[in-house]
A = this chain, B = another copy of it.
């Protein structure tokens, strides 16, 4: 599934003068065996390893995830919990994006190849080398709405400010989308 094996990781590290250490191999292994849809914070990874009896210092964890993110092996996710989360950077076609509820922080994955394509196209056009692309949809989930949220939003809230111009209703925009949207993933 993933392109990264201990052997290839070693090769890539050595090519730049870096080293494969047991800690790095262990951390890679954890991410590769993480069930789909899971992602870990540095702290969570630290605790998980401690539980398994593998004590790797927090410093090393931070240094390692940063290194691996720069290598494109893992993705740094900025969700809504106040700290970063990490997960394997699954190659196409397993790449995915996230919906985050801004009240309860619940996170949902979804796949959408159109977004990946558009990103790659944009990167080409701009002349940069893409390492990762992440679409994050900030939203309010049905449970949150039921529970009385949004406490701070007008009760007639329809997301219209976020997406609509002053003269278009949400419904109009959605109609517009139905008409000419090219892909139904």
Interface residues of A (CB under 8 A from B): 3-4, 11-12, 15-16, 18, 67, 69-73, 78, 89, 91-93, 95, 99, 101-102, 108, 110, 112, 114-124, 126-142, 145, 150-155, 157-166, 168, 173-174, 177, 181-183, 185
Chain A, interface SS category: mixed
Q: How far is the CB of A76 from chain B (nearest CB, A)?
A: 8
Q: Report if A166-B3 is in contact (Cβ < 8 Å); known contacts: A78-B78, A137-B133, A152-B18.
A: yes
Is the beta-carbon distance between A122 and B137 smaller than 8 angstroms? yes
Closest to A132 in B: B138
Chain B neighbourhood of A120, CB < 8 A? 163, 173-174, 177
